[in-house]
Amino acid sequence: MAAADPNASLFVRPLGAVEKNPTALKLIVGGKLRELRVAAGLDPVDVDSKLGFSQSKTSRIELGRHGCKQVDALALLHLYGVDGEERVAEFLRLVDQSRRPDWWRSFSDVLSDFFTPLVALEGAAERIRTYEPFYVPGLLQTPDYTRAVIQAGPGHLLEHEVTRRVELRQERQRQLDQPDAPRLWAVIDESVLLRVVGGRDVMYAQLEHLLAMMERPRVTLQIAPLDVTAAVGVGTGVTYLRFALGDLKDAVYIEHLTDSTFTQKPQGVEQYRNMLDRLGACALTPAQSIAALRERMQTL
């Protein structure tokens, strides 16, 4: 048997859009360190003790909740028996990239903690699948429609807070303009078309925008008739993030009124993926959805 290449990459390549996403890189780096630790037969407590780390530091790094410093990464790699100049250099390069500031941190004044996981990772996804029962999905909203949705939400917001939230949503949408943008597949409940948000002019412009977005090769939109969503039993909006890399697990985000559920547990992710598959199979085709949008515009 040939000896393993000491300089072989520790990561799945190429990383693509993930390379520009510090949050995703933290998860990848942490996941790889967890794999190396398990292979070395060590517990997190053992590592903390051997390296003089504070309690639970190893676990926080592995979960992507704690940025990994280069000096810590070197110590961990040495403890786990990782050698090879190129392997170590590549790992440290990703560690360094993972410590860059995320673009969304400039919106921390209006970004809720429960919304952060989705905003942080959606740009790194290879595919975004979403179902919305009440509103047009955020990535497909016009600024005026977004403003109307935010103003109708819970609590009283000052005008500058509303504006900042609109800007945040527009910044999220710009990720769809990148060369390595995710593929977006959205299913919208039929009731969304009937719900006039922001008045007739705002709603008409929003439906026009949906038609324009459907001309993009990386955007797919389907309308789900009311009997379809009743039969599938969705009940709430859900966003599924599909990552192209084996180093990053797929994720599901479910938003509630004042909090959210974000999970990368395979069983839960699979259940929602199956639900979205059923919705897509039963909803109107994209061509039929275009016809439904145009028909609704004529009645506004």
Which superfamily is assigned to 16-100 in CATH? lambda repressor-like DNA-binding domains (1.10.260.40)
Closest among 178, 179, 125, 119 to 15, alpha carbons compared: 125
Q: Which residue has the tokens 């790194």?
A: 124
Task: Name residues whose C-beta falls within 8 Å of residue 264's C-beta, 6 or more positions apart in sequence.
Answer: 249, 250, 251, 252
What is the per-residue pLDDT across 120-173, written as a single tens digit (0 to 9) for each?
999 999 999 999 999 999 999 999 999 999 998 877 889 999 999 999 999 999
- For residues 39 and 31, what is the distance between their CA atoms, to the nearest angstrom? 12
**Band of pLDDT at residue 1, cut at 50, 70 and 90:** very low
Q: How far apart are CA 116 and CA 65, in angstroms?
A: 13
More confident residue, 247 or 159: 159
Domain residue ranges in the chain: 16-100, 105-299
pLDDT at 248: 85
Residue 53: phi and psi, rounded to 5, are -75, 160
Query: In sequence order, which residues have a C-beta less than 8 Å from that of residue 124 and are 6 or more positions away?
Result: 17, 18, 20, 21, 23, 24, 243, 248
Contact 121, 241 (CB under 8 A): yes
Helix, strand, coil fractions of the chain, as percent rounded to 5:
55, 10, 35
262 SS3 class: strand
Distance CA 187, CA 197 (A): 18
Taking the CA of residue 111 as centre, how many other CA atoms within 13 Å lie in the half-sphere pointing to its CB? 18
- Highest mean pLDDT of the ranges 27-36, 58-67, 79-88, 204-213: 204-213
* Single-letter code of the amino acid located at 22: P
CATH architecture of the domain covering 105-299 = 2-Layer Sandwich (3.30)
Q: Dig out the tokens for 69 from the structure.
A: 């410093």
pLDDT in tens, 125-135: 999 999 999 99
Six token digits for residue 195: 């719900």
Confidence of residue 66 (pLDDT cuts 50, 70, 90): confident
Q: pLDDT per residue over 176-214, tens digit each?
A: 898 888 999 999 999 999 999 999 999 999 999 999 999
CA atoms within 13 A on the CB side of 68: 34
| Strand 183-189 relative to strand 219-224, pairing | parallel
Looking at residue 12, what is its pLDDT?
60
- Other residues' Cβ atoms within 10 Å of the Cβ of residue 243: 24
Which residues lie below 8 Å from residue 8, measured CB to CB, with a gap of 6+? 84, 87
